[in-house]
C-alpha cells in the first residue's frame, strides 16, 4: 500500500509544536502595512495556536 501524502499547502502554513498543538501565522501581514501601527504589526506577526474546530481537519491534511 502506498504511503499517505502530506498536503503540501497545509504543511507550509502550519507547524506542529512539541506537544502536538498546531501553530499558524495570523492573517493581515501581506500588504497595506503602511497604515497599520507598529504595535498592530508586532501583534499580527506573532504565531497563534490554531482554533480547535480547525485542528481536526488540518491534522487530516497533514497525515497525523
What is the tens place of the pLDDT at every residue in 25-41?
A: 888 989 999 999 999 99
C-alpha cell read off for 15: 507547524
Q: What are the phi and psi torsion angles at 28 (to 5°)?
A: 100, 15
pTM of the model: 0.74
Above 90 in pLDDT, residue 64?
A: no
The whole-number average pLDDT for the span 33-60 is 93
CA dist list (Å): 4 to 18, 45, 53: 22, 32, 23
Q: What is the pLDDT of residues 5-20, one digit of tens each?
A: 999 999 999 999 999 9
pLDDT at position 14: 94
Contact of 51 with 24, CB cutoff 8 Å: no
Amino acid at each position: 500500500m502506498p504511503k499517505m501524502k502530506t498536503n503540501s499547502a497545509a504543511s507550509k502554513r502550519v507547524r506542529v509544536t512539541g506537544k502536538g498543538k498546531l501553530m499558524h501565522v495570523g492573517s493581515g501581514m501581506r500588504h497595506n502595512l503602511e497604515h497599520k501601527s507598529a504595535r498592530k504589526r508586532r501583534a499580527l506577526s506573532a504565531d497563534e495556536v490554531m482554533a480547535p474546530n480547525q485542528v481536526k481537519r488540518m491534522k487530516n491534511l497533514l497525515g497525523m
